[in-house]
Structure 1
């Protein structure tokens, strides 16, 4: 009975330390394991597995033939396709703290089942994928940070297999969030369900999806680790609509690039259907957001600077806050549509300066406002507490929430407020035709507002 109790105590101790337990319990002195701390437990487990690193050799005709070939194959717990550094002593994958090294010739590695692993090292452009028709998953230990280390700066491996956090003792032990640390460039495809923070080392890039591969997501915060100041990149891709609900954290995120990239799924050139919703408070983010042919709908807060590309296929929507003090949003041939939705009035807030530019192929920047055709006169607004600098023509347009033009109320409508105004461009009103009203747009420098004037024509 006492021996059984020791085994349970050892098993629980290893789980709390975030270590794979099965073989360690067989090999270890149970009393010393329970009495020791996590460092001792990790040493015991490493000794139990007997090797610090194993090299993938699934593409070799003889995995123990004396050379590391790498290549394509199946990663399971049965086949002896893992060799030592010399390409000999091949064995099945043991799990636990052993580092899985993917080197030599890149290939497609299929995962047909649950594989316990903590640290992965990749030296070339491998693809780790779920075997067709299976629930293949990479399973990280409870309470320990896993890692993906891409050691070749030119490699850009793809991880399409799911990654999860191990479940312990039928759920009787609380889950501990270990998270994942990434060093280098890596592409995720599909939903990743591991618990905890995804941390990017300096100089690293995480692409959540890509054109031709599909979308991807991670569940927790995304942290940008401080270091030598090398640029870090987070790329978010969508083909339809997705929500970026991760908190973006870090001691200093000023050198981070946040790239929004969308697939070309448009009903027409003026209205991109691929939309990324930024719904959480990321006001502390200090990097640069780049928008490429996307509609970015900000309902939360997104700090830092912003830049759109010049194709004329980018939009900014919402009622949240974009940027912070001393930041600049540079809009190239971009349509800005305040409001939470097509029929909802709202105010879109910029935190700092806004600069507008023309784009390619005669594309221009446009601010479009919804204006109710009822007695309330409710309408959208844009707030720019810093400088609004108009370079090239800035087009102003408006319509009913349903997109049509009816009978508007006479009056003056403050559409844009700003702290300072400059630039060499002009304000151009795209006024509706066929109505019994005269429309004019004015830059009211005294009040620091752009005002729409509507006057009913005499009958």
Structure 2
């Protein structure tokens, strides 16, 4: 430890606190065991004219390793940031704090709404300790946003000993965070990966749900993923997730013609919480368990060739487009592991639709498989696209859908293709075989 850090440890009146208990990491090697010991605190006072004038002001300022912008809880002394296990406390007057250069920090606590930004010219980065658990805590009704990168000291080595980052409370990450070891969410905490108007965000590795006590049926954890154009959600989720919620949120700009998309690539079949899609195209190539619902504004899509839902937990979709297939146009099967319920909002301009790309009638076309019950409460349309052999769709019978049971199958209607005046299309609804087929022929 440097002489500066030693002087701070002696001078600061430490308030006893404990590093939060971090759960198991599903067998991940190299994760250090959590420790329990008192942590000294320093209070951000970069916005004060004199950081040691007796008032913890907070506010705007520069966070580097030389400016004396940190004080004790009574604001009687001021020091540069010492690093180490000192807890960085941001309180009182909210502000924008700019990180200049790499800053070593292990524990951060927000008591007011701050923005932590990284200086572009010095690659301002918050550096978490190698092989130690770190934490970010925000108090109730406090919503901090971290734009600066968060990385791990020495994390570029071949075999880095990664810790974990524990989040308690609510925090927004904007930009791609590069820290290693994964993330743990305490009960009643939320991680927002990007937000409308400020940008997208991501983290690496696993995300763990921690429980302190039994849930009473309320939301226990929240993860929100935001996309402005294209974003990937590659994280594996583990831990008790019955009360967890995933929010996939997009915003279509008036200047955009392409719907924003979020790609779900990890295998999260064991997730048992609830997912919600808002104004997004959700492309699932992995697995996303639990239940899923959409808003009724006609802007939501579900795409891909992965698996959605769980046995006993279904998909409840309003005015939603379902487009099976692999990103890039290859045919694929989209599977709903539970029930699938489709209906429409009261807006006549929006409706639920299946869109299938027909390549050839040999099983290589897009399809949807519903393991449970398929329920169609109002008119749901089937649209076909793609070109088969020759001109138009190849003659033959295409299996578009399979299902375990059904209700309202007669509400399924084919939108006539452009050549329907010369080519015969017959949508066959077969509840006995649990299939919907399309017969194409002259």
Instruction: For residue 159 of structure 1, report the CA deviation from its aligned partner.
Output: 0.4
- In the other structure, the counterpart of 1:166 is 153
Counterpart Cα distance in 2 of 1:353 and 1:407: 34
Counterpart Cα distance in 1 of 2:5 and 2:112: 35
Show CA shifts across 1:212-258 (max 9, x none).
111111111111112233521101111111221111111x1011111
Counterpart Cα distance in 2 of 1:117 and 1:453: 64
Counterpart Cα distance in 1 of 2:227 and 2:133: 28
- In the other structure, the counterpart of 2:13 is none
- In the other structure, the counterpart of 2:225 is 236
Aligned in 2, Cα 1:71/1:453: closer, same or farther, shift over 3 Å?
same
- In the other structure, the counterpart of 2:69 is 81
- In the other structure, the counterpart of 1:284 is 270
Show CA shifts across 1:101-136 (max 9, x none).
001010001111111110001011000111242211
Question: Which of 319, 326, 335 lines up with 1:333 in the alignment?
Answer: 319
- In the other structure, the counterpart of 2:125 is 137
Counterpart Cα distance in 1 of 2:148 and 2:347: 41
Aligned in 2, Cα 1:211/1:245: closer, same or farther, shift over 3 Å?
same
Counterpart Cα distance in 2 of 1:349 and 1:332: 18
Instruction: For residue 375 of structure 1, report the CA deviation from its aligned partner.
Output: 7.0
- In the other structure, the counterpart of 2:96 is 108
Aligned in 2, Cα 1:384/1:42: closer, same or farther, shift over 3 Å?
closer
Structure 2: tracts of 5 or more residues without a match: 10-31
Show CA shifts across 1:160-180 (max 9, x none).
011111128x959x4211120
- In the other structure, the counterpart of 1:443 is 429
Aligned in 2, Cα 1:267/1:395: closer, same or farther, shift over 3 Å?
farther
Q: Does structure 1 retain, via aligned residues, the 8 Å contact 2:173–2:192? A: yes
Q: Does structure 2 retain, via aligned residues, the 8 Å contact 1:265–1:273? A: no
Show CA shifts across 1:242-293 (max 9, x none).
221111111x101111111112147887xx5311111121111111111111
Instruction: For residue 208 of structure 1, report the CA deviation from its aligned partner.
Output: 0.5
- In the other structure, the counterpart of 1:179 is 164
Tell me the secondary structure at the aligned position of residue 64 of structure 1. Answer: coil
TM-score (norm 1): 0.84
Q: Does structure 1 retain, via aligned residues, the 8 Å contact 2:387–2:393? A: no
- In the other structure, the counterpart of 2:57 is 69
Question: Which of 115, 136, 139 lines up with 1:148 in the alignment?
Answer: 136
Instruction: For residue 72 of structure 1, report the CA deviation from its aligned partner.
Output: 0.7
Structure 1: tracts of 5 or more residues without a match: 1-20, 29-37
Larger gyration radius, structure 1 or structure 2: 1
Counterpart Cα distance in 1 of 2:151 and 2:132: 12
Instruction: For residue 76 of structure 1, report the CA deviation from its aligned partner.
Output: 1.4
Counterpart Cα distance in 2 of 1:389 and 1:25: 64
Show CA shifts across 1:401-421 (max 9, x none).
59x994334443221111110
TM-score (norm 2): 0.87
Q: Does structure 2 retain, via aligned residues, the 8 Å contact 1:392–1:425? A: no
Structure 1's consecutive aligned runs of 4 or more residues displaced over 6 angstroms after TM superposition are 24-28, 266-269
Q: Does structure 2 retain, via aligned residues, the 8 Å contact 1:388–1:420? A: yes
- Count how many residue pairs are aligned between Structure 1 and Structure 2: 412
Question: Which of 209, 215, 218 lines up with 2:200 in the alignment?
Answer: 215
- In the other structure, the counterpart of 1:128 is 116
1:357 aligns with 2:319: no
Q: What is the root-mean-square deviation of aligned Cα atoms in Å?
A: 2.7
Instruction: For residue 342 of structure 1, report the CA deviation from its aligned partner.
Output: 4.9
Counterpart Cα distance in 1 of 2:102 and 2:36: 22
Indicate the structure with greater helix content: 1
Tell me the secondary structure at the aligned position of residue 55 of structure 2. Answer: coil
Show CA shifts across 1:73-95 (max 9, x none).
11112122211111211111111
Counterpart Cα distance in 2 of 1:165 and 1:342: 35
Q: Does structure 1 retain, via aligned residues, the 8 Å contact 2:227–2:250? A: yes
Q: Does structure 2 retain, via aligned residues, the 8 Å contact 1:328–1:354? A: yes
Tell me the secondary structure at the aligned position of residue 242 of structure 2. Answer: coil
